């Protein structure tokens, strides 16, 4: 296991290098002069030159890249053009908000998706199966921005049919459970639909295996066969989807945080784009990419925990 983890960490190095190149290229792929764009059209040449000097844009590209990487390894992602604060300090303030939102959305998606997928697989080709798959298709088809606005209208602004203690708050995060539910449901609904469909497909494949029929022939109850034998093996592809969905939730938080006015990394990225604060954009994209790579590593390690027969060496 230790050897596998070390090997996987080494394999992430090329990925991280590729991510760093893409993130670094953000500032140089935009049309025009990046310093002029950040300063604004009405800025004086002196102001533009100060920004260019501050960001090191006068240096050759390869020098800028290696300077960026060496600083990033030390935790220095530069300084915000808008606020003048260190990019890492700006991210630290918002990171845990986005991480909590993505984590809660993942829990909701896994909880609903697993239950729905198991019921659909065990009762396949019944009314329950068809109903769950239709609902899953509907949930998968709804974009986050539409889902969020509908929930706000039903349970917050237009929630006159609810008692006061049940009305949701359409903005903010963490001060009350009424601020948390709507963003989590908005972000997690699509993931729940994907997990439900994957769980159903994986469970149906495992249920048709010979060892499942043997377990039933021995007289084991359907509950034991389903949860102890079928589900454990069916979870392996589902775990992969869960890891990918967590990464998708980190990216999808951009829309959700904007709709619900949540001060997380997603909203920080949008504000940075609107104000042309490219160091912030680079920093948020890099941090989210690193977190996504780390989550994928945890997913790979979890395979062996679910199935001892999987060889990691």
Residue 105: its pLDDT value, please? 92
Q: Summarize pLDDT for 167-195 with one digit per residue, the tens.
A: 787 787 877 888 888 999 999 998 899 99
On whether residue 27 sits in a domain, the answer given is yes
Domain containing residue 217: 97-275
66 shares its domain with 106: no
Q: How many angstroms separate the Cα of 178 from the Cα of each of 72, 113, 169, 277? A: 38, 23, 6, 32
39 shares its domain with 136: no
User: What is the C-alpha separation between 266 and 252, in angstroms, rounded?
Assistant: 8
Residue 104: its pLDDT value, please? 92
CB-CB contact of 105 with 188 (8 Å): yes
On whether residue 240 sits in a domain, the answer given is yes
pLDDT-above-70 percentage for the chain: 91
Residue 5: its pLDDT value, please? 73
Which of left, alpha, beta for 276 (phi over 0: left; psi -120 to 50: alpha)?
A: left
157 shares its domain with 8: no
Q: Summarize pLDDT for 276-294 with one digit per residue, the tens.
A: 777 888 888 888 888 888 8
Assign 253 to helix, strand or coil.
Answer: helix
- Residue 108 confidence (pLDDT) above 90: yes
Enumerate the β-bridge partners of residue 79: 86
On whether residue 123 sits in a domain, the answer given is yes
48 shares its domain with 112: no
- Residue 248 confidence class, pLDDT cut points 50, 70, 90: confident
Task: Give kind and range of the element (H or E) at residue 181.
Answer: helix 177-207
- Number of folded domains that form the chain: 2
**CATH number for the domain that contains residue 228:** 1.10.3720.10
147 shares its domain with 235: yes
On whether residue 84 sits in a domain, the answer given is no
Residue 71: its pLDDT value, please? 85
62 shares its domain with 187: no
Residue 107: its pLDDT value, please? 93
pLDDT-above-90 percentage for the chain: 7
The model carries a pTM of 0.81
Q: Summarize pLDDT for 54-85 with one digit per residue, the tens.
A: 777 777 878 888 888 888 888 888 888 777 78
Residue 300: its pLDDT value, please? 75
125 shares its domain with 15: no
DSSP output for 104-125? HHHHHHHHHHHHHHHHHHHTTT
19 shares its domain with 135: no
């Amino acid at each position: 296991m230790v050897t596998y983890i070390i090997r996987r960490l080494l394999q992430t190095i090329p990925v991280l290098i590729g991510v760093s190149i893409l993130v670094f290229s953000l500032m140089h792929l935009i049309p025009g002069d990046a310093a002029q764009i950040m300063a604004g059209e009405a800025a004086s040449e002196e102001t533009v030159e100060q920004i260019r000097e501050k960001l090191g844009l006068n240096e050759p590209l390869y020098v800028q890249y290696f300077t960026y990487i060496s600083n990033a390894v030390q935790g220095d992602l530069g300084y915000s053009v808008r606020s003048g604060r260190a990019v890492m300090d700006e991210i630290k303030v918002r990171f845990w908000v986005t991480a909590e939102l993505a984590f809660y959305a993942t829990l909701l998606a896994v909880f609903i998706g697993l239950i729905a997928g198991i019921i659909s697989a065990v009762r396949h080709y019944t009314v329950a199966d068809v109903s769950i798959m239709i609902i899953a298709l509907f949930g998968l088809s709804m974009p986050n921005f539409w889902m969020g606005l509908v929930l706000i209208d039903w349970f917050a602004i237009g929630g006159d049919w609810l008692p006061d203690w049940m009305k949701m708050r359409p903005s903010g995060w963490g001060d009350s459970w009424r601020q948390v539910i709507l963003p989590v449901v908005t972000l997690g609904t699509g993931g729940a639909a994907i997990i439900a469909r994957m769980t159903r497909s994986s469970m149906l494949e495992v249920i048709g295996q010979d060892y499942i029929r043997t377990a039933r022939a021995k007289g084991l109850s359907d509950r034991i066969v389903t949860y102890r034998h079928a589900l454990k093996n069916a979870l392996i592809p589902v775990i992969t989807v869960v890891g990918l969905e967590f990464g998708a939730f980190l990216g999808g938080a951009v829309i959700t945080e904007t709709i619900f006015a949540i001060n997380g990394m997603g909203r920080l990225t949008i504000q940075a784009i609107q104000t042309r604060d490219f160091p912030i954009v680079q920093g948020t994209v890099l941090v989210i990419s690193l977190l996504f790579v780390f989550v994928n590593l945890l997913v790979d390690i979890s395979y062996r925990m679910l199935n001892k027969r999987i060889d990691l060496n």
